[in-house]
Amino acid sequence: MISPNRRPSPADLCGDPRRRAYQGVAPRRDELLTVAELLEELCVSRRTFFRWRELGRAPRCVKLPNGELRIWRSDLLAWLRVRTENVA
């Protein structure tokens, strides 16, 4: 845990953003989410997410050299804004 009497180092800021928030350190404005983190936030299955990708309806993804996917939080938020319905 980060001591309240010292400024956090870059090493303190690594890891789970929920843990950083719990420790009183503000998360970065934009971050790369793993597919697992995205699935947890949207409460959808892995199969649903990859089906959305097949249909071209998923948020934009970054494909890393090792083949893993990441999603910028800002892209996820923009994707959600586009899908927000105005219900009267």
Q: Which residue range(s) make up the domain with 10?
A: 1-28
User: Could you tell me if 48 and 82 lie in one domain?
Assistant: yes
The whole-number average pLDDT for the span 64-86 is: 94
> Does position 78 have pLDDT exceeding 80, yes or no?
yes
- Kindly provide the b/e burial profile for residues 39-72, where b requires at least 16 CB atoms within 10 angstroms of the residue's own CB: eeeeeeeeeebeeeeeeeebbebeeeeeeebbbb
> Does 86 share its domain with 55?
yes
pLDDT at 5: 61
In this predicted structure, which of 3-17, 30-44, 68-82 has the lowest mean pLDDT?
Answer: 3-17
**What mean pLDDT do residues 21-32 have?**
63
Count of domains in the chain?
A: 2
Please tell me whether residues 12 and 35 are part of one structural domain: no
35 and 74, same domain (yes or no): yes
Same domain? 66 vs 81: yes
Quote the pLDDT of residue 29: 75
Residues 9 and 38 in one domain: no
pLDDT for residue 6 is more than 90: no
